[in-house]
Amino acid sequence: KNQVEQSPQSLIILEGKNCTLQCNYTVSPFSNLRWYKQDTGRGPVSLTIMTFSENTKSNGRYTATLDADTKQSSLHITASQLSDSASYICVVSEGGSYIPTFGRGTSLIVHP
């Protein structure tokens, strides 16, 4: 069964600090990996989309990495802001069926 595991489950950091969120997956065959930001009670917002051949992709202060060999991804947030407080979700799509598997998310709280 395809699985996407994220760590840590929750994280508290001070404003201005950096942090890294982890995603491990067992989805196979692999199509793409996405990171989303979800504010409480809102729909997810796309941050990055990565394919098998991409190792790194940035979107402003967000940088995602992908190691398709070890089936691991990370999302690095630089110079955190209060508005970064949200759940960050890793989603991996299966090649062929294209059905996405969602992780449970990492809940990030940024304190002033």
Binding site for another protein (CB under 8 A): 31-32, 38, 41-46, 49, 51, 89, 91, 93, 95, 97-105
Q: Which is nearer to another protein, 77 or 91 (CB)?
A: 91
Q: Which is nearer to another protein, 45 or 79 (CB)?
A: 45
Rounded to whole angstroms, how far apart are CA atoms 97 and 31?
A: 9
The distance of closest approach from Cβ of residue 104 to another protein in the complex, given in angstroms and rounded to an integer, is 5
Rounded to whole angstroms, how far apart are CA atoms 53 and 51?
A: 6
Cα within 13 Å of Cα(45), Cβ side:
11
Q: Which is nearer to another protein, 80 or 89 (CB)?
A: 89
The distance of closest approach from Cβ of residue 28 to another protein in the complex, given in angstroms and rounded to an integer, is 15
The distance of closest approach from Cβ of residue 67 to another protein in the complex, given in angstroms and rounded to an integer, is 18
Question: What is the strand order of the sheet 4-7 is part of?
Answer: 4-7, 19-25, 72-77, 62-67, 56-59
